[in-house]
Amino acid sequence: MAQHSKNANDPSLDTHAHELYEALNQLVRIYQFRDRDRICCYDVSVTQCSALEVIIEKGPLRLQALAEQLFLDKSTASRVIDTLVRKDYVTRLKDPEDSRAILIEATTAGRKLFTRIHTELVEEQKEMIADFAPDVRVAATELLHRLAGAASQRMGVNTSCSTEKSSGPGCC
């Protein structure tokens, strides 16, 4: 059931797998998934891994920017960074443009770790969707995006619900 013809030699499979990974990541990030204190073999939690990803992909960035990307309070982001610094996956640099600010950058170890995790997960995803037709893959990814969007609204992220408290008729 739901098994279409095998398209193992489909060049868009990589893209689909990557988009799916991205969508799931976003879903998970919004849902603020609590770890089991490490992702199996890797000594980082899911939140830490998400933070590492943002830091690597968005270059050196400020704490506030990181917090926004992760939908976290800056205090929480600061403490996540504390842990990642302690584990030597990121470093705090002084921002030359603003001495109040810091720039967070991944260390070599951090990049190495993330590459390992990323590669492995994308590979896993690829296997998972290999037997789906391309349009189904796209649709499933789109669905995950929608789920993330809906959840973010429900959780009051970036909505009037979170900024104005107890003002409207029953929150959302």
Q: Using CB under 8 A, count the residues that bind a second copy.
A: 39
Would you state the structure tokens that stand for residue 73, as one six-digit string?
């309070």
Binding residue for a second copy, selected from 57, 88, 128, 160, defined by CB under 8 A: 128
Any contact of residue 47 with DNA (CB under 7 A)? yes
Any contact of residue 170 with a second copy (CB under 8 A)? yes
Query: What residues have CB less than 8 Å from 13, skipping those under 6 apart?
Result: 7, 126, 129, 130
Backbone angles phi, psi at 39, to 5 degrees: -85, 90
Q: Min. distance of Cβ 122 from a second copy in angstroms?
A: 12
Q: In angstroms, what CA-CA distances link 156 with 17, 70, 127, 132, 161?
A: 29, 14, 34, 34, 5
The rounded distance, in Å, linking the Cα atoms of 48 and 64 is 16
Q: Between residues 19 and 26, which has the closer beta carbon with respect to DNA?
A: 26
Tell me which stretch binds DNA (CB under 7 A): 6-14, 65-73, 107-115, 119-127.
65-73
Tell me which stretch binds DNA (CB under 7 A): 16-24, 81-89, 108-116, 127-135.
81-89
The rounded distance, in Å, linking the Cα atoms of 36 and 29 is 15
Any contact of residue 91 with DNA (CB under 7 A)? no
The contact set with DNA (CB under 7 A) reads 32, 34-37, 45-48, 62-64, 70-76, 78-83, 92, 95, 98-102, 162
